[in-house]
Chains A and B, each alone.
Chain A
Amino acid sequence: MQGSKTEASLLRSVAIVGVGITELKSSTPQVSYKELIFEAAQKAYEDAGLNPRKDIESFVCSSEDFLEGTSIFDEYVPDQLGAVLKPVCTISADGMYSLAAAYMQILTGLFDVVAVEAHSKASDIVNLSTVYDMALDPVYTRPLGLNASFVAGLEMSKFLHSRGAGTNHCRMVVAKNRKNALSNSLAMYGGIVEAKGESQNPVLSYPLTEYDVAPIADGAAVVVLASEDAAEHLRDDPVWVKGLGWASDSPTLETRDWLDATYVRLASKQAYQSAKLRNPAKDIQIAEIDDTYSYKELQHLEALGLIGDAKAHTLLEQGAFERDGVLPVNPSGGSIGMGHTLEMSGLVRVVELVLQLRGEADRHQIKGVETGIAQCWRGIPTTSGAVVILSNR
C-alpha cells in the first residue's frame, strides 16, 4: 500500500463535542430502533448544546441491510435524528467508518458540525448466524457450509499456536473485560468469571467456545463532530480527533493473512501518520479495541504496534492491560463485557474513549489520561477495520 501523503499540519482540526449513548441491553422489547436512536441523539445534542434542525449541517448513519431486515435502511434514519431535509447519508459499515466520513466532510470545509449515528437491534434478528453465513463468497466458500464460528476457530487456533499462547489466555481476556464491565453502568455483561482451569463452556469450533464470543446487545450511539472554530465556541473540553485510519486486507478466506490483523496494522499506520505520533506506544495511555472474540483483543493489540515486539499474552499475564496496568485495554469492558452491538461496536469504543478523556467515565475512570486509541473490526469474514486517535489536548 502506498501511504497517503498526509499533511497533518495543514489539516483543519476536528473535535468531538457531544456524545450520546443508550444503555446496552440484551433485548429491548419496549422500544423500537427509532426510539433507541432518538434517545442517543437527544443525549448527544444536549451534551453538545446543539439544536439538530438549526445547528447540525450533515448526518452520517451506519447500517447493513441484512442486520436490519430492511433493504435500503437509509430510508428510516432522518426523522428520529432531527435530520429531515438535511444532507444525510449511510455508510455501510461500523460507526467508526461513519466517523471517518464525517471527519473528512469537515476537513473539506463544506461543513462545521456533523453528527454520526450507529445502532444495534440485534435482539430482533431471529438467526444472526445465518446472516453471517450470507457474508461468505456465494460462489467459492458458502457452498462448503462453513460458518462464522468455524472461521474464527481456525484463526484463533493459528494465532494461539504461533504465539505459543493457550486458551487460558483467552479466558483471561474474558475475565478482565467482564470484570471491568461491572463498574460500567452502560454495560450488560459485567461479572466475575474464573480465568483459570479448563473451560466448561460448549465448544463452537475448537478452540473457540461460547465463552470467547462477545454476546450481542441492543443500543444506539450518536457522536457530534465539529471543526476547530465551532468546537471552541461549543465547549471548554472538546476531545480532538488527532488521527484516523481504515483499511482492508483480502476479503477471500483463501488469500488473506490468517495470522496478523493486517488491516489494523495498515489503519493504525495511517492514523499515527496523521496524528504525527512518532512513538505511539509512549503517547497512547488507553485503548478501547475490538474484542468480538477474546483472541481478537490480543491479535489487534499486537497489530496496533503499542507493545513493540512483545507478545500480547505475556503482557496480559503480567496484568499490563488491567485498569491499573501500563496500558489499560477496554476498561469499559469491551464488547465482551458491554455487549456486542454489531455495526455500533466501534462507535461504543469511541464514546467510551471520549468519556475517559473528559474524565467522565464514572467508576471505571482511568486517572490522568490524555491520549487514547479506539479500534474496530467488521467481523467475520471481513478483514476490514478502523482506528481513531483521540486526545483532550
Chain B
Amino acid sequence: MRSDPRLRLPIMLIVALLVQTTVLARMRVWGVMPDFMLLLAVAAGLTAGAAQGAALGFASGMLIDLFLPTPLGLSALVFTLVGYGVGVANTGVLRSAWYIPVLVAGGASMAGVVLYALIGSVLGEQMIDGHLATIALVVGVSNAVLAPVAVRFVAWSLGSSKGRRSSKAGAARST
C-alpha cells in the first residue's frame, strides 16, 4: 500500500519529533543527545537541495521550538540556515561515495550547534561555555552516525523517486 505523498511530510515530522523527545532524549553521552531535528534539515539539503533544506529546516525547527524552553523561532532560524547552506554546498553528493553525506551531516550539525549557541547568546541565553565544545562534538558524531537513516527518511517524505531525480538534475545543471 502506498501512502498519500502529501501526508508523508507531516508523518515524517511527527515521527521524528517523537523519536527525538522520547528515544534520543534518553540516549545521552556526557549529557548530550543527538539532534535529529537538525539532521532532518541537513538531510533535506543533501537529498533535495537548498530550497527544500531551508523549508524542512524551518518546519522541523519550528516544531521542536514548541517543546523547548528557549525563545520560539530560534531553532527554526538556525535549521533554515543550515539546511540551505548544506543544499548550496552539496546538492548531488548522494551519488558520490557513501561517507561524504555522513561527513557533511557531522560537520553541518556541529556548525548548526555553534550557530545556535551564538544566536542564543545574542538573545541573552547563556549558551557559550566550556560545555559547548562537548555538545558540538557529540551532536556532530552522533548525527553523522544517524545520517544514512535520516537521508532515507527525508527522501521518502519528499517522495523518494522525485527527490532523487531532482537532486541529480540539480547537480547536473550546476556542474
Are both chains from one complex?
no
B residues with a Cβ closer than 8 A to A are none
Residues of chain A at the chain B interface (Cβ within 8 Å): none
